[in-house]
Amino acid sequence: MVKGIAVLFEYETPKLVQISNIKIGVTQRLLQLVILIYVVCWVMIYEKGYQENDIAKSAVTTKVKGVGFTNFSHIPGIGMRSWDVADYIVPPLENNALFVITNLVKTERQSLSKCQESSWVPEAACYKDSDCKPYFISHLGNGAHTGKCIIKPGNDIGSCEIYSWCPLENDTLPLGRKSFLFPMVYNYTLLIKNDINFEKFGIHRRNIQNWASKKFLRTCLYNKTDPENRFCPIFQFGTIFEEANVDQSIFISGGVIGIDIDWKCDLDWDVQYCNPTYSFRRLDDAHAKIASGFNFRYAHFYSENGTNYRDLIKAYGIRFVIHVSGEAGKFHLLPLTMNIGSGLALLGLAPTVCDIIALNLLRSRDIYQRAKFETIAEEQAHLSSRRADKAQRKKYGLSKRNTETINENSDENGKIIQWKDDQEFTVSDTQTIHSST
């Protein structure tokens, strides 16, 4: 048990062993080189480890412009008409987003009345009035059952009568799955105004350049390859569709496109170089087999001769979601010293790896282990014995002499002490003390 407790108080200290082995030497230098390249090239240069960083706070507003025209006299509710922003931007304002209608189905002059439920509603199928429970509402239906079964001539099965907005919604795309109503959407333009703040550094920036004039904003269109127009905050939808690489299905069935505005600012340079970059991508699954696209319904209400009517519109279109990210960095001594310290600590990994290789993998590992690890328990015991001898000599009032013989009378107990060498002595009953080196 004493030995077990003693283990807790053992002290270990590193021992420097020089190993003349080309493999270990090359391995150590390669590891140090890799760590040095990582710290300098990646941490310090690429990640700018010498800078203090701040995250931007952002605000975004949008404005769409453009007028469209349709001439579909054979499509009820569409016909020949002009379409402006108030018609195809629904709702007129969203937070960091907007919706543009590209296709729609319109059901006109619906009023609250009684009509036959759709045949595709399973709970509405009936043979007689008793099959239609009054006030029953199917989760797939359009209204409450009145208790009457309506069977059209020549049919054996009918549908329950309901109280709802009648006539029921027309859910058939006017131009089918091959085309859409508003191809003029390519020419609409979107103005994005984006303001950001880096509060830690007291920096405010916006995506409209200080040098931009009213004339520039009236005539410019975003072009990422043009030295001036790449700063233009006005985007033609056709350019966005091209950058997002969308196909025609998005205009027929709808979808979601993301607009990413990214600010990466190095404030060690002039603040005029702190400008955004734009990217566009489709966010929904263009190849989904079920529930693909994006659509919703809204209605226009009006009254004629005391009767309330509504025109129901099922709108298909593209929802644009705007996401802003921003980060700024500026030189600061604290991150610089922390990263330098971390790099120096990583350099200490090289000797550790080399120790593992030398002590466990090389053929001469036994030799290296004996040279690396040394226990000095015997030396400690030897030192303890010397201390005990010194204490014993002090007890008897003796001093050591290199070469002499001392004769003394015995003590009261008749015991005489004889020195044998520098380290040990014996006690006997003789009357003479012999001491020698």
Query: Residue type for 112, please?
Result: L
407 or 160, which is more confident: 160
- Ligand-binding site membership of 65 (annotated): yes
Q: Identify the three-state secondary structure at position 57.
A: strand
Cα dist. 185→82, 88, 237, 252 in Å? 13, 10, 7, 12
pLDDT digit string (tens) for 109-137?
999 999 999 989 999 999 999 999 999 99
What pLDDT sits at residue 386? 74
Angstrom distance (rounded) from CA 208 to CA 316: 32
Q: Are 64 and 339 in contact (CB under 8 A)?
A: no
pLDDT-derived band at 392 (thresholds 50, 70, 90) equals confident
Average pLDDT over residues 142-155: 93
Q: Are 400 and 421 in contact (CB under 8 A)?
A: no
pLDDT-derived band at 382 (thresholds 50, 70, 90) equals low
Query: Residue type for 46, please?
Result: Y
pLDDT-derived band at 398 (thresholds 50, 70, 90) equals low
SS3 for 2-19 is: HHHHHHCCCCCCCCCCCC
Q: Are 251 and 314 in contact (CB under 8 A)?
A: no
Q: Are 282 and 257 in contact (CB under 8 A)?
A: yes
Give the chain's mean pLDDT: 85
Average pLDDT over residues 241-251: 94
- Ligand-binding site membership of 296 (annotated): yes
Name the token pair of 141.
């239906």
Above 60 in pLDDT, residue 428? no
Cα dist. 300→110, 306, 333 in Å? 10, 16, 63
Instruction: Work out the number of other CB atoms within 10 angstroms of the CB of residue 63.
Output: 13
pLDDT-derived band at 106 (thresholds 50, 70, 90) equals very high
Above 90 in pLDDT, residue 65? yes
- Ligand-binding site membership of 281 (annotated): no
What pLDDT sits at residue 368? 74
What pLDDT sits at residue 429? 42
In sequence order, which residues have a C-beta less than 8 Å from that of residue 266 and are 6 or more positions away? 48, 51, 273, 274, 328, 329
Q: Identify the three-state secondary structure at position 142.
A: coil
Q: What is the Cα 329 distance to its own chain's centre?
A: 19
What pLDDT sits at residue 145? 96
363 or 223, which is more confident: 223
For the entire predicted model, the pTM comes to 0.74
Above 90 in pLDDT, residue 331? yes
Question: Please, what sign has the CA dihedral across residues 162, 164, 165, 170?
Answer: negative
pLDDT digit string (tens) for 161-190?
999 999 999 888 999 888 999 999 999 999
What pLDDT sits at residue 132? 94
393 or 434, which is more confident: 393
Angstrom distance (rounded) from CA 156 to CA 158: 7
Identify the structural domains of the chain with CATH numbers, from first to last: 20-50+332-372 (1.10.287), 55-117+168-330 (2.60.490.10), 377-436 (no CATH)
- Ligand-binding site membership of 241 (annotated): no
pLDDT digit string (tens) for 249-291?
999 999 999 999 999 999 999 999 999 999 999 999 988 889 8
- Ligand-binding site membership of 23 (annotated): no
Name the token pair of 190.
């979107």
Q: What is the Cα 103 distance to its own chain's centre?
A: 35
pLDDT digit string (tens) for 192-235?
999 999 999 999 999 999 899 999 999 999 999 999 999 999 99
- Ligand-binding site membership of 90 (annotated): no
Above 60 in pLDDT, residue 420? no
- Ligand-binding site membership of 394 (annotated): no
Rg (CA), the chain: 46
If you search the block for the tokens 């053992």, which residue do you land on? Answer: 10
Q: Are 62 and 322 in contact (CB under 8 A)?
A: yes
DSSP E strands, 246-369: 255-266, 276-282, 295-304, 307-331
Angstrom distance (rounded) from CA 211 to CA 191: 17
What pLDDT sits at residue 381? 67
Cα dist. 346→27, 38, 39, 339, 390 in Å? 15, 10, 9, 10, 50
- Ligand-binding site membership of 400 (annotated): no
Angstrom distance (rounded) from CA 91 to CA 78: 20
Angstrom distance (rounded) from CA 348 to CA 14: 13
Above 50 in pLDDT, residue 405? no
Q: What percent of the chain has pLDDT over 70?
A: 86
pLDDT digit string (tens) for 78-90?
888 899 999 999 9
Average pLDDT over residues 149-162: 93
